[in-house]
Amino acid sequence: MERKAQESRKGLTHREVPRVVGLLLAMALMNVVLYLCFDRFFISPQHSTKDPRSCPYGYFKMGQMKNCSPWLSCEELRTEVRQLKRVGEGAVKRVFLSEWKERKVALSRLTSLEMRDDFLCGLQMLKSLQSKHIVTLLGYCEEDNTILTEYHPLGSLSNLEKTLNLSKYQNVNTWQHRLQLAMDYVGVINYLHHSPLGTLVMCDSNDLPKTLSQYLLTSNFSIVANDLDALPLVNHSSGTFVKCGHRELHGDFIAPEQLWPFGEDIPFHDDLMPSYDEKIDIWKIPDVSSFLLGHVEGSDMVRFHLFDIHKACKSQNPAERPTAQDILDTYQKVLNLLRDTVMSQTREML
Ligand SMILES: Nc1ncnc2c1ncn2[C@@H]1O[C@H](COP(=O)(O)OP(=O)(O)OP(=O)(O)O)[C@@H](O)[C@H]1O
Ligand SMILES: [Mg+2]
């Protein structure tokens, strides 16, 4: 009795020590399990912001494909792809609806060897920039000057009005969906301005129809950039700026700094033409967004709410223009605001 009392006064008995250690181990194990659970539930949003279709470099997934497949090689392009009909053509590529393993795909062929450098630049960009903002690359063959991409039956943004006027798309021909398209478009520009390669400028866009032809409308009504042949790199810290081509540009779709600044008395000379930065893309956003908003019920209300940000995009001084992210944030705010207004009006009517 005396000894027992002494032991309990001293603290834990020899028999109790392993039990406590076990308890501590169990608690530690519980913590690990809880940590893993929390990690799954609370850190997963980080994963979910990634494109669910994304594959490692050199692989692709499209449509209902479950697994990523490696980009098709020259041999596979030659033997497995069946060219069907021409669906588009530009200065660099002739594009054919084609078939690969019973799937519709787009096969682009170089139009003339003179344009090969642009074609290869575009291919390099497609390879480096694969994301939800860019058309999916399925394969390429430099030897044959061919590129295979995912086919989008709704074609380029030039067809938008025609498509949305079809009766089967009436349900998406609303200011909400159209504003969402404008957000997709600005999202692509924002991605290019913060791309894995640095700040890229969408040069192939000297007028509205040309600009629209460089983007495709997907079947689920989002926008992807397709023609990446002219995306020069700006680097503010090293003082690297760009010029979109070597010829004189005209019109008010392009940014003012893209115009010849020395008047008619001095003939245009590329060497004298000053270079510029990615803010030329920002200047063009109001015109593209306005086209995307179209003329449906509510479009003008959206335009009214975007007036200030669009005015800022048209600042003569490029540095005073907002960033693509600023514009995206404003579009999102306007979408939320107008959605709330419409909802409360509907509630009042009921
Ligand atoms: N994946 C595709 N799915 C459907 N249509 C496509 C696809 N790729 C291209 N097209 C069509 O072909 C047209 C021309 O394609 P693209 O802009 O790549 O050619 P380009 O020769 O590089 O043009 P540019 O004259 O602007 O340099 C597009 O505007 C579009 O209508
Ligand atoms: Mg094009």
Contact 95, 89 (CB under 8 A): yes
Ligand with smallest separation from the Cα of 89: 1
Within 98-234, residue ranges assigned H as helices are 116-129, 160-164, 175-193, 208-213
Q: What is the per-residue pLDDT across 218-260, written as a single tens digit (0 to 9) for each?
A: 999 999 999 999 999 999 999 999 999 999 999 999 999 999 9
CA of 216 to the centre of ligand 2 (A): 10
Ligand with smallest separation from the Cα of 112: 1
Quote the CA–CA distance of 161 and 184 in Å, as a whole number.
17
109, β-bridge pairs: 94, 146
User: What backbone phi and psi angles, to 5 degrees, belong to 46?
Assistant: -60, -40
End-to-end CA distance of the chain: give it in Å, rounded. Answer: 82
- State the sign of the Cα–Cα–Cα–Cα dihedral 315, 317, 323, 329: negative
H or E stretch covering 99: strand 93-100
CA of 144 to the centre of ligand 2 (A): 20
Helix (H, G, I), strand (E, B) or coil at 7: helix
Helix (H, G, I), strand (E, B) or coil at 59: strand
Q: What is the per-residue pLDDT across 274-288, written as a single tens digit (0 to 9) for each?
A: 999 999 999 999 999
Ligand with smallest separation from the Cα of 93: 1
Q: Which atom of ligand 1 is nearest the CA belonging to 213?
A: 29
Contact 217, 159 (CB under 8 A): yes
> What confidence score (pLDDT) does residue 24 get?
55
Query: Hey, what's the torsion of the CAs at 245, 249, 252, 255, to 10 degrees?
Result: 40
Query: Hey, what's the torsion of the CAs at 150, 156, 159, 160, to 10 degrees?
Result: 90
Contact 149, 81 (CB under 8 A): no
Within 217-306, residue ranges assigned H as helices are 279-293, 299-305
- Residues with pLDDT less than 70, the chain: 1-53, 350
CA of 334 to the centre of ligand 2 (A): 31
Q: Which atom of ligand 1 is nearest the CA belonging to 204?
A: 26
Contact 205, 280 (CB under 8 A): no
Q: 270 vs 78, 232, 233, 277, CA distance in Å? A: 42, 16, 18, 16
> What confidence score (pLDDT) does residue 28 get?
53
> What confidence score (pLDDT) does residue 41 get?
33
The number of residues in the chain equals 350
What's the chain's Rg over C-alpha atoms? Answer: 28
Q: Which atom of ligand 1 is nearest the CA belonging to 152?
A: 3
Residues with CB under 6 A from ligand 1: 87-93, 95, 106, 135, 149-152, 155-156, 204, 213-214, 216, 226-227, 229
> What confidence score (pLDDT) does residue 343 get?
75
> What confidence score (pLDDT) does residue 7 get?
40
- Ligand 2 ion: residues within 5 Å (CB): 90, 213-214, 227
In 3D space, the residue among 298, 299, 282 whose CA is nearest the CA of residue 290 turns out to be 299
